[in-house]
A and B are shown apart, each in its own frame.
Chain A
Amino acid sequence: MSKLIATSAIRGAHSLYNRAEAAYNAALAAKGADEPVSFPDTAYYLPVAYALLAIKVKTLGDIKPVLAKAKSMLPEIPAEGAWLPYLGNTLDSGIAALLSEEIIEAMKYVMGPNPVEGIWLGATDDVIVRTQGIKLVDGSMPGFAAVVGAAPTTEEAVKLATELRERNILLFMAGETDGKTMADQLNEAGVEMGWDVYLVPFGRDISAAVYALGVAARAAMTFGGITPAGMKEAREILMYNKNRVFAFVIALGDVDDEKYATAAGAINFGFPVIANTDIPQILPTGITTYEHVVSNVPLDKIVDTAVEVRGIKIKITKIPIPVSFGSAFEGERIRKEAMFVEFGGQKSPAFEYLRMRDMDDIDNGKIEVIGPEIDQMEEGKAYPLGILIEVAGRKMQSDFEPVLERQLHHLVNGAEGIWHMGQRDMNWMRISKSAHDKGFKIEHFGEILKAKLMDDFPAIVDKIQIKLYTDADKMKDVLEEARAAFIARDERVAGLIDESVDTFYSCTLCQSFAPNHVCVISPERLGLCGAYNWLDAKAAHEINPTGANQPIIKGETIDERRGQWSGVNELVRAKSNNSVQKVNAYSIMEDPETSCGCFECVVAILPIANGVMVVNREHTGETPVGMKFSSLAGSVGGGAQTPGFLGVGRQYITSGKFIAAEGGFKRIVWMPKELKEALAGQLKKRSEALGLPDFVDMIADETIGTTEEEVMEYMAKVGHPALEMDSLLG
């Protein structure tokens, strides 16, 4: 912390204290100690004093201990050139300043002039705190700004007010610069003010700024359920504000001592100060969530800076595009005749790629079309389109890139008259004639993605910028980088093994119909529905920490071969309502995992053939185990452990951990032809990795037989390795 600020703040606090003491003594002399003192319509007395000191001021006499406390917190004004341990002292002086300011304002209610006069609103009643507080809690009002001083010009004042209002940020005004206040400026410009329009002029005096902290303190008491009692509660009230009330101070014009002191008070609440003048900065984070004081910010950047420094999330309620948006349009198709232009689909180069950047590298909200816009495109033709989405977030991880990128399909399809399929550099999009007629442009892809990614993933996306390349040459480099990234991602996924992580994830999405079922999702065993792999579950947990995907610390290894860990057992026990005591992640015979009902495939043992068969959901015919998929599903599903049977996702079949306890992949003796073909590449790769290049051909299918006997005949003929393996039944 700058010594300059510290010294000013301390001086300011002394000055405010002296004013408070003088006003108090005058009131006491005129009215006596029993004179009632209150702000109108509040059950919180003088709210700052009540919140921080637990003192219920009802009469003039009750103010005495408040003044005494303020005085006790006033540090010595440091001598010129003396070193001083600043932060604690400065913060204390801030509290002393707020307590003093509250007394100054309260004395106005006792002695006059009434703070409510002309444009000035004075103290805030409880109903308004509650009504506005709801908006703060639910996020429809992302935060509030307390402006002290005046803007350089009336126009700039109006512009600042408009910018804040556009973001639904409540603006409190108090204090003047050179005899002028921001509220005066708005008034001159004919701007209507009041709570309804989010512009609240408290008072001309800097001491009126304390009303903003009074609102903050009451928000904490009302919505945080904190009843003042002492230091602990006072700290809770301050912490509530730091963590939940996204407020900040905008200091306009010269910052005098009393303003510094007030700002120091606000910092106690975790509210940072943004100034348009060149005052010393305090950047290291600590008391406030991020920076404390950021100075010399041009007026037109002040709102963005404030929003960023305070970490405020603005809700986008309507996407600014000329066509409707909603899930009802997701399934629309656009036929060739109805199409205006298309992108990708082998007809033109196209890609979609989302990557993570550093916070500072992103110009938040910027959408850039690089190349021709739609008005330079001809009907019926295909054009290049590269979509590069860059996001940053304090909780963003590169592993979440593909998770967010996959959202693109569903998001773009939500726009009426826009169609999307595929992914990565194999995507395909169309804009319909009707969407084009309504004015849909290339940049609107950016608007959709910006709005939805920010809105749907606030936990991980803090900032976003989007580049839309419609010029094939200019997108070359990015496309190359994207392709390299796709390969790197695939390698990362392929390289992830269960042993390389200490955390798995649970999935209990299906408990609505399988009450005791828990999926344990590990890098090598995706959810049995096939929809959630380990990375997805990890991201889902980050996005929704109370949701269906919870981290499982593996804990102690109980059985390495069968895949049993203490942490997994504990979690499964708890989440299965105590009905499953232990699970072996890699076994089908002994304490296998349960299955809900959504599995893509069922693995069943063929005990006489000493192997297993796999049947996928789409296969409706007979199988060698003597049950069709539907009756197998009935036996396996519902969340009970069923030795000999396992519901799995398709990708698990070729995982290195596929029923590893029973010998793994080499146990497979039968699967439907369709499934074999769908997984041909992976099956081949896995066979080769096991040193059995011809293994896939040893797996029987329905064209070879649908009885265990036929399968055994075939196995004997081809020399299937399962014949030589240990008996499945032990």
Chain B
Amino acid sequence: MALTGIDIFKQLPKTNCGDCGVPTCLAFAMKIAAGQAELAGCPHLSEDAASALSEASAPPIRAVTIGVGEDAVKVGGELVLYRHEKTFFNPCVFAAVIDDGMDAATIDGLLKQTNESRFVRVEQDLKAGLVGVKSLSGDTAKFTALIEKVKAATTQPMVLMCGDPAAIEAGLKAAGETSPLIYAATADNYEAMAALALEHKAPLAVCGTGDLDALVELVKKIMAAGVKDIVLDPGTRNPKDTLERLVYIRRAALNKKVKELGFPTIVFPNEETEDKMMEAVYAGLYVGKYGSVIMLSDLNAARALPLYVLRQNIYTDPQRPMQVKPGIYPIGNPTADSPVLITSNFSLTYFIVSGEVEGSRVPAWLCVMDTEGLSVMTSWAAGKFVPEKIVPFIKGVGIEEKVKHRKLVIPGYLATMSGELEDELEGWNVEVGPREAADIPPFLKSWAS
């Protein structure tokens, strides 16, 4: 049972000193309860209170950071089994695996993909997140050379993949102090690997054999050695078994508080099939069901883009919808006579409305207002899509310079405010559009004629 804000507040100094950056102790407590602030933010916390709270407030799944600086990624830290219960917090990451058996052209190609596989969608920067560097040959020199090449070519954090602690040690040195993910500790090499992880402040992946009880035992030893940042590989290499293990790991961590399984995971769809399309489909499975680091054979744009968008969907906060940037969106080269429509900046509303406008083939100006990401009806109900907000938006957004006419089409569901808006929006006529987006094309066609 997570602590409530009140439980936390009781342990705080109750001084409202504001030194934590939050005006009151209760507000600070609420932030901790919501996972938006850390206990360490309070400089006046008594030691007893700190230990009482940190025990109880420690997340059931540890958030692990891979890499350093701007490009570092954080995975894990999840609190729920199903995204509707709260949200999935730290988006999973992908990595194309480069190995030292590849020819130079292949390596260059993969490095290029790693750097260029970036898309901007709904104001979010979509990219893989990591790059895998694997020693196939077992030759330390070849491995370090490859690591140096990758390091020079990209700032993306690495996953260093080799079962030989000596090669990993060399690799870590070659990588510099960049906190790459070490892959992987096994029952045979864990002592050396744990020591390397501690020495280089690098997170450590632990590779199991498919047996979760054995994995728990192994992780226990590695934790005992002092390693805190761990990533779990259940060790299976077919999607049916992997799914089962990932479900059990997540459940054990959240429901049974099994500390040894309270870590992010790493999965290998690239090793579960030869077919790159199926590899992407399996990767999709792990986006939804509990994969944190997902290893791929490449980042071909036509396959990467759908995967990144799937991740974006699954990791959207269900209670905090995605938003698009407010402003004027011209669709299909509109002119000074084209219709002007207004809608909310809830990304789904925007996508559907703009899609239907585009589909109508009637060029139009779509004015997207800042409704804090709420849909049309919800934002209207919340007083964010009402005449007093619309008037300054329309007057200020610059649409009056773009069109000659003064006719504004509002969503059909907002018919009740048409009169009030027309009164307040000087110089404009307000027209009530369709209630459903699907009816926009005929509406625009008749508008245009």
Q: Which 4 A-B pairs have the closest CB atoms?
A: A333-B419, A626-B24, A626-B27, A626-B23
* Residues A681-730 near B (CB distance < 8 A): 707-709, 729
New A-B pairs, 8, CB < 8 Å, besides A707-B16, A708-B16: A327-B435, A330-B416, A607-B6, A626-B22, A626-B24, A635-B5, A644-B6, A644-B9
* Residues B87-106 near A (CB distance < 8 A): none
- Tell me the bound Cα distance from A327 to B319 in angstroms: 29
Interface 1/0 per residue, B236-276 and A, CB below 8 Å: 00000000000000000000000000000000000000000
Q: Is A375 an interface residue (CB 8 A)?
A: no
Contact present for A328 and B432 (CB under 8 Å):
yes
Q: Give A728's nearest chain B residue, CB to CB.
A: B6
Task: Name the interface size band of chain B.
Answer: 35 or more
Task: Name the interface size band of chain A.
Answer: 35 or more
Contact present for B419 and A637 (CB under 8 Å):
no
Identify whether the interface residues of A are mostly helix, strand, loop, or mixed. loop
- Which residues of the partner chain B approach A334 to less than 8 Å between Cβ atoms? 419
Contact present for A707 and B23 (CB under 8 Å):
yes
Question: Whole-angstrom distance from the CB of A626 to the nearest CB of chain B?
Answer: 3
Contact present for A708 and B24 (CB under 8 Å):
yes
Known interface pairs A607-B14, A707-B16; A643-B4 also in contact (CB < 8 Å)? yes
Identify whether the interface residues of B are mostly helix, strand, loop, or mixed. helix
Contact present for B415 and A635 (CB under 8 Å):
no
Contact present for A589 and B6 (CB under 8 Å):
yes
Which B residues form the contact surface with A (CB < 8 A)?
A: 4-6, 9-10, 14, 16, 22-28, 30, 33-34, 84, 86, 318-319, 378, 381-383, 412, 414-423, 432, 435
Contact present for B422 and A333 (CB under 8 Å):
yes
Question: Whole-angstrom distance from the CB of A718 to the nearest CB of chain B?
Answer: 21
* Residues A324-366 near B (CB distance < 8 A): 327-334
- Which residues of the partner chain A approach B415 to less than 8 Å between Cβ atoms? 327-331
- Tell me the bound Cα distance from A515 to B87 in angstroms: 13
Neighbour of B4 across the interface among A598, A642, A709, CB < 8 A: A642
Neighbour of A608 across the interface among B14, B84, B418, B423, CB < 8 A: B14
Q: Is A625 an interface residue (CB 8 A)?
A: yes
Q: Is A5 an interface residue (CB 8 A)?
A: no
- Tell me the bound Cα distance from A617 to B4 in angstroms: 24
Q: Give B27's nearest chain A residue, CB to CB.
A: A626
Among B26, B378, B416, B435, max chain A CB count under 10 A is at B26
Which A residues form the contact surface with B (CB < 8 A)?
A: 327-334, 413, 419, 513-515, 589, 597-598, 604-608, 617-618, 622, 624-627, 631, 634-635, 637-638, 642-645, 707-709, 729
Q: Give B410's nearest chain A residue, CB to CB.
A: A331
- Tell me the bound Cα distance from A51 to B433 in angstroms: 52
Question: Whole-angstrom distance from the CB of A109 to the nearest CB of chain B?
Answer: 51
- Tell me the bound Cα distance from A329 to B417 in angstroms: 10
Question: Whole-angstrom distance from the CB of A66 to the nearest CB of chain B?
Answer: 55
Contact present for B416 and A644 (CB under 8 Å):
no
- Which residues of the partner chain A approach B6 to less than 8 Å between Cβ atoms? 589, 605, 607, 643-644, 729
- Which residues of the partner chain A approach B14 to less than 8 Å between Cβ atoms? 607-608
Contact present for A598 and B381 (CB under 8 Å):
yes
Known interface pairs A626-B26, A638-B319; A618-B383 also in contact (CB < 8 Å)? yes
- Which residues of the partner chain B approach A729 to less than 8 Å between Cβ atoms? 6, 9-10
- Tell me the bound Cα distance from A118 to B43 in angstroms: 100
Known interface pairs A330-B416, A331-B415, A708-B16; A644-B5 also in contact (CB < 8 Å)? yes
Contact present for B30 and A627 (CB under 8 Å):
yes
- Which residues of the partner chain B approach A333 to less than 8 Å between Cβ atoms? 419-420, 422-423
- Which residues of the partner chain A approach B4 to less than 8 Å between Cβ atoms? 642-644
Q: Give B84's nearest chain A residue, CB to CB.
A: A515
A-B contact pairs, 17 of them (CB 8 A): A327-B416, A329-B415, A331-B416, A331-B418, A331-B419, A331-B432, A333-B420, A513-B318, A515-B84, A606-B26, A608-B14, A626-B26, A626-B27, A627-B30, A637-B319, A645-B5, A709-B16
